[in-house]
Structure 1
């Protein structure tokens, strides 16, 4: 049996506590940033929606372009140093954006360069975060660590969305971006205080060395060679590439529904922004509840269970498409939040257990790239689709895509058959 008291004992580990504090603070900064950047840019003299699109695209494109390189860097160098560098780059990017907005010197190329630096920071941080957790905690505590980290991030997202909007209204987008930069700076300082050593019970590298990503694996001579090695690790596991292929389709539908179709239906049928905010709040509450569920369950077939949990995530899109009452849609969004967080925690834990430590960040970068690559397509086609067939029908289509992608993934023997090792007694290191 697992107990919450045993879960909380994780905080006796100084490195884990620093990591969680850093992630919680950094996520708060990330949550401040979208509202601050959007309204800060739109408030500039002569700015249009196109101006904002250029800045956001300048941030998004480097994230995709540098994701694989970020994985290589995180596997070659100590991951705490890579993470510190990513947080510091984020801080520099948002301080630069803030200074431009506050001084009124806002040439579009300069805004785009600062936004691109933030995108590169994201590309470095994402694969590093997956890889650093096994560097900090032993293998039998991975799921607990992932769940606690997700809990802190979820609370930060909710707090950041509310506080970010209030800060923009009260003191303006530029000052809100200063707040984001300060938070990234604090996160970098917290990560700098971490001291990683080989964790007892953590999987060693293939050469028997440290799993800390210090570039100690033999035969690495180029980025391309490292990427080929990471690709071999990725493609050799059926459960891994099948779920990533599933998510490339699922995320496309979710992006269309969350980014365009859901707000359209909320505006036309449910009363506007207040209704959509209630739906997002229901999802956020569900995400927090999902963490507590994930802390308790230890499935023997984690990827099978995680995929089954994704099936009910189609519910809010179906309810929106059927013009269900608002309370029912909010409840469906809460179900989605529970399902997505349980999946995310089981997925991260399984990757950290199954992938060799010296390749984990590179494999994580392939996971991110594959899962997100069709998301922009969903955003682009959602608007025209809503015009042609109506947003309600398009949302029902999104729900169908989510369901079909889940059932297709369940056809894979690798997804159904992957088992966790026999459970061991959990340990905590102080």
Structure 2
């Protein structure tokens, strides 16, 4: 791959100050809606998530030696495990699980450094990853609908109060998001989630369900609600949290590889060959560890920001770094944090209906794009088992206190079935063959 002739800024080109600021803010807006949505859904601080995404992105740029213009934001794949972990053991349990997921990334990066990356792609073929991604989206579908319907979302199931006003606002938010995605052009088509949230928020103000008291009382400068190990909680290892969070990394690692392949096409350079998947996965893992140390959800490379790169043709890693710095700065503006806390759950539920559906649909798209043949029994069996176990909520109790969640169980069984069922493609048989990294 060579340099794209239409390139406005190549990866190592430094833009002028004005262009630098404008392009970086554009990237900030692209990731903003999704990055703050995840912590709001799981009960963590959006301001801390912003700080984490900025710090994680800067660490990623450093580890990849400034060769990959990728922004890292909150990962949707970990929403259900985080909610479960937080309910079981509070923020400390969620952060320990996040830390373990980051360590898993580091171990995979070390293996890649020794054995190459093809084994990982063969271990996680589309017939396994596609259905698991569908499970991730459908597994949190109920959360999105509950947020949209109930005005006191978060209360006990028997105490939930259905509200026609709230679901109407959620549907209006959903409509704005869909229209923005389908009909707007250029950069605005990349930020439909942000536009949907803003539109739903304005409607909520006129509907009288927004309380601005927290914004009025907030200071302009305020330290985010950081959650530190030992200071905020005592870290304790738990096999139940391990089996809840770490298996999800199976899916997010595959997502990372997919993003790197797409990004390589966008920038016109083979990023899988140089700097390689090893440093890239390591950088992602370090970012997740950083998130766990300050109280934020796990991070991942962001498709929204890849879309911005494709539109602007400005691939400069300095622009990505600038967006990371702006994200960190935004996290210390107390008024912004307070404003985010006033967004009604029905607004977030409205955009979540589309987002979670897109997650599920992207799994389906992976199957279609890779021409997975469902006339073959092995493919039909693998996908069917993954879908029913994952969506059906089956779990495996290993001991009294340790269990595999439905998502983790579905992913692991999918990998095992792919390895043992006959008819596997011949090129997948030698999984640990050497190749340059």
TM-score (norm 1): 0.29
Higher relative contact order (CA 8 A, sep 6+): 2
User: Higher helix fraction: Structure 1 or Structure 2?
Assistant: 1
TM-score by length of structure 2 reads 0.28
